[in-house]
Amino acid sequence: MDIEKEKKLVGQAKKGNIKAFEQLVLEHEKIVYNIIYRIMDNEEDTYDLSQEAFIKAYTKINQFNEESRFSTWLYRIATNTSLDELRKRKGKETYSIDKPIIGEDNDMLPEYIDENENVEKEIIGKEKNDVIECAFKELNKNNKIILNLREIQGLSYDEISKVLGISLGTVKSRISRARQEMKNILMQDKEPYATYFRQNTIRRDKDGL
């Protein structure tokens, strides 16, 4: 959705136009669902909290000052709704999305399966995705949130800064720290990581790479 259309729908929603807000929901519901699922890790909670996030957005739409995009504001609501629920459940345990982290930059880019790849490469790609998904679940909560926004949802550093309410410098250092944790998890000598990397070492040797 282009910015001008989004602004028009937001303006109509602020005047009480439910259909305009429903269009905004349809545009963003998939990403909102994915953001919450990556935090809660189960479908039932994700569905309930997605509904709660959209209800909050509708009731607070007039508080949206339009200094950022509506999507950025909505993703922040989705993230905070999930974290609030975790705080309620954990009681004494709290999560902070504002704590600065310092670390060296380490690249780990998501990989996508090319539809034109042959069957063998598709299988290898699926194996890799499964391993990365497993590692993702082991990440600490803050690192999981920021890697989800950056690597999976594809938000820019500036958008992440606005969603989490932290500085650009903190975004960069937290992403660096999260990538390092992911790298450490993937390098563990345990399943499924050990088997995956052993199999791929054999494949590389077989292919003479």
Q: What b/e readout covers 23-33, taking b as 16+ CB neighbours within 10 angstroms?
A: bbbebbeebbb
Residue 17 within any structural domain of the chain: yes
pLDDT by residue (tens digit) across 147-163?
A: 999 988 889 999 999 99
102's tokens: 């310092």
What is the residue type of 205?
D
| Mean pLDDT of the region 137-147 | 90
Whole-number pLDDT of residue 11: 94
Residue 63 within any structural domain of the chain: yes
191's tokens: 């399943």
Do 85 and 129 reside in the same domain of the chain? no
Residue 114 within any structural domain of the chain: no
Provide the number of structural domains found in the chain. 2
Whole-number pLDDT of residue 120: 38
Show the domain range for 178.
119-206
Do 81 and 15 reside in the same domain of the chain? yes
What is the residue type of 183?
K
Tell me if 185 sits within 8 A of 138, measured CB to CB: yes
Do 202 and 123 reside in the same domain of the chain? yes
158's tokens: 């500036």
69's tokens: 């995009």
pLDDT by residue (tens digit) across 69-120?
A: 999 999 999 999 999 998 887 754 444 444 333 333 333 333 333 344 443 3
Residue 103 within any structural domain of the chain: no
Which has the minimum average pLDDT: 129-143, 158-172, 193-207? 193-207
Do 132 and 65 reside in the same domain of the chain? no
Do 131 and 86 reside in the same domain of the chain? no
Residue 95 within any structural domain of the chain: no
Residue 191 within any structural domain of the chain: yes
More confident call, 124 vs 49? 49
Whole-number pLDDT of residue 201: 54
Residue 209 predicted with pLDDT over 50 = no
Do 45 and 84 reside in the same domain of the chain? yes
HSE (side-chain half, CA atoms, 13 Å) at 6: 16
Task: In whole angstroms, give the CA distance from residue 95 to residue 81.
Answer: 12
Do 12 and 79 reside in the same domain of the chain? yes
Whole-number pLDDT of residue 78: 95
- Domain-ending residue, one of 90, 111, 140: 90
pLDDT by residue (tens digit) across 12-58?
A: 999 999 999 999 999 999 999 999 998 988 899 999 999 999 999 99
pLDDT by residue (tens digit) across 166-186?
A: 999 999 999 999 999 988 888
Residue 137 predicted with pLDDT over 90 = no
Instruction: Please report, for the domain that includes residue 175, its CATH number.
Output: 1.10.10.10
Do 125 and 194 reside in the same domain of the chain? yes
Whole-number pLDDT of residue 119: 38
Question: Cβ atoms within 10 A of the Cβ of 115, count?
Answer: 6
Task: In whole angstroms, give the CA distance from residue 51 to residue 67.
Answer: 25
